[in-house]
A and B are shown apart, each in its own frame.
Chain A
């Protein structure tokens, strides 16, 4: 070199041979990384807290207000009250929170450029998406299952004061309560697939809300003969069949509906995985 400069050698920490030998990518490590990613963002905690609080919060409020008001309610109003389904209706808010968080976890990496660091660390790419889905669906299931069961028992206890409670051993009850958690778990998976395809938080949330919440409302406007045939196959309608007491020709049977809903989620995730491999990051 013709330009002389003063080099002050730095001491850059090296890894020992033993450390180097142990360093490689593995599925459990990618899962650990994704779990750490989720835990280290404030938005995860806030949104998850909302999802968890919404089911018992709304359920207990409904049970308590009904119990207070029962003596004054008209017969027809009493007939409309569903002592099982109404206290569980907080899942509507929970699914929004879970969907938003799922999209933040996946598409949020694209807004700041984190995805480049992630994919440089795990260049095979698909394990990243798989780990995200594994971590978040597991979290959703293990939090929402006890939440739904707790909500059921607390609200039934409240309603027992006016003798309108139902019990765990009543036919369909356990399936419906557990179904809330299963439905929300598949919502998480579906939303992650949408987030991975759209790669943009706002767009992803828009697509999620459109598909899960708006589509069934629009479909209501179809002529009845069409609606009866089409509506039950829409993702959220199919999935919520698991939470209905009885099925008729306008709904799918509970488990069939759940399988259809799960198939939507799996299909979306497969498309997401193929695109993840193909597209430039």
Chain B
């Protein structure tokens, strides 16, 4: 459980995080979504005490992160920027972190195995690919068997295989009852990964919604229908709150009815349907709509 109340971070004149209050619950994957520069990384750094808030506070399981006696058992973090020394081997990197709170070398080896780095454990991190670096970061985050995980853009730079692996990992961690906060600037990725969304822009909380609600709200309510009996269907469907338009012969766009209702009505009249597709605005579009006003680096011609 992560709880932020009135969190503010200023860098001189610039406000990076502006009065954020939210809570991240255990047992689900919470997506932390926002455009680049929205304040996601800064917020995550404040959760584990790397940056101190200008005002407000954020606690992990009821306490400031620094007050826990076994911080790595409380929170495992994968931050966007690499947090390693390139001259050290992967295994030694983990051993160094494990040593701070008495985690065994056996556990280090188990985690190297989990992330598939056993074979290169003795190699210097400097020679690692982006994907290997991310995997090492995941192993470091899991080192203390933490109740809470904070992952900043974990799929950045990964191949499709790696992305799927991360999704499975996040799902498994949440199913085990852990608190999982994962940031991204890609809505589509969040739709696949997260159960709940915290959307921020310019340091402010824009939305705190479940992914299901977000997708429902994002859908336009239009249903595309393809049928050889277009004229008959139109007569059946049209009503005071129902609009039907046609873009081509045999193709209808219906608003005011759900796809279920259209299908049932058509079946009752014996009308053949070849396609019945509820139209969803793309999630990226919905996300853009939501965050449009808060883009930090907006193209000037986009400013209305």
Q: Residues of A at under 8 Å CB distance from B?
A: 1-3, 5, 7-10, 12-15, 19-20, 22-26, 29-30, 32-33, 36-37, 40-43, 108-109, 112-124, 278, 280-281
A123 touching B71, Cβ below 8 Å: yes
Q: Scoring B residues 57 to 96 as 1 if CB is less than 8 Å from chain A, else 0, what string do you get?
A: 0000000011011111101010101111111110011011
* Chain A residue at minimal CB-CB distance from B145: A15
Query: Which A residues touch B107, using CB under 8 A?
Result: 13, 15, 19
Q: Residues of B at under 8 Å CB distance from A?
A: 45, 48-52, 65-66, 68-73, 75, 77, 79, 81-89, 92-93, 95-97, 99-104, 107, 110-111, 114, 140, 142, 144-145, 167-169, 171-173, 175-176, 191-192, 195, 211-212, 215
How many residue pairs bridge A and B at CB < 8 Å?
Answer: 147
A13 touching B88, Cβ below 8 Å: no
B114 touching A117, Cβ below 8 Å: no
- Choose from B83, B144, B145 the contact partner of A117 (Cβ within 8 Å): B83
Task: Please give me the 6 A-B residue pairs with the lowest Cβ-Cβ distance, nearest first.
Answer: A123-B66, A33-B99, A117-B83, A116-B83, A40-B92, A13-B110
Answer whether A25 and B85 are a contact pair too, CB < 8 Å, given A1-B195, A12-B172, A33-B99. Answer: no
How many whole Å from A67's CB to the nearest CB in chain B? Answer: 42
A1 touching B211, Cβ below 8 Å: yes
A25 touching B99, Cβ below 8 Å: no
* Chain A residue at minimal CB-CB distance from B91: A40
A280 to B172, CA, bound (A): 33
How many whole Å from B188's CB to the nearest CB in chain A? Answer: 9
B83 touching A113, Cβ below 8 Å: yes
A117 touching B65, Cβ below 8 Å: no
A280 to B9, CA, bound (A): 11
B101 touching A24, Cβ below 8 Å: yes
- Choose from B73, B167, B168, B171 the contact partner of A20 (Cβ within 8 Å): B73
- Choose from A23, A32, A40 the contact partner of B70 (Cβ within 8 Å): A23
A124 touching B79, Cβ below 8 Å: no
Please give 20 more A-B residue pairs, beta carbons under 8 A apart, in addition to A5-B167, A10-B169, A23-B144: A1-B195, A2-B215, A7-B172, A10-B114, A13-B110, A15-B107, A23-B73, A23-B101, A24-B101, A25-B70, A43-B87, A108-B85, A113-B81, A114-B84, A117-B83, A119-B50, A120-B83, A121-B101, A123-B65, A123-B66
Answer whether A9 and B87 are a contact pair too, CB < 8 Å, given A119-B49, A121-B71, A123-B49. Answer: no
- Subset of 27 A-B contacts with CB under 8 Å: A1-B212, A5-B167, A7-B171, A9-B172, A10-B168, A15-B103, A19-B107, A23-B101, A23-B102, A23-B144, A29-B102, A30-B100, A33-B99, A40-B88, A40-B92, A40-B95, A41-B88, A108-B85, A109-B85, A112-B86, A114-B85, A116-B50, A116-B83, A117-B93, A120-B77, A121-B101, A280-B45
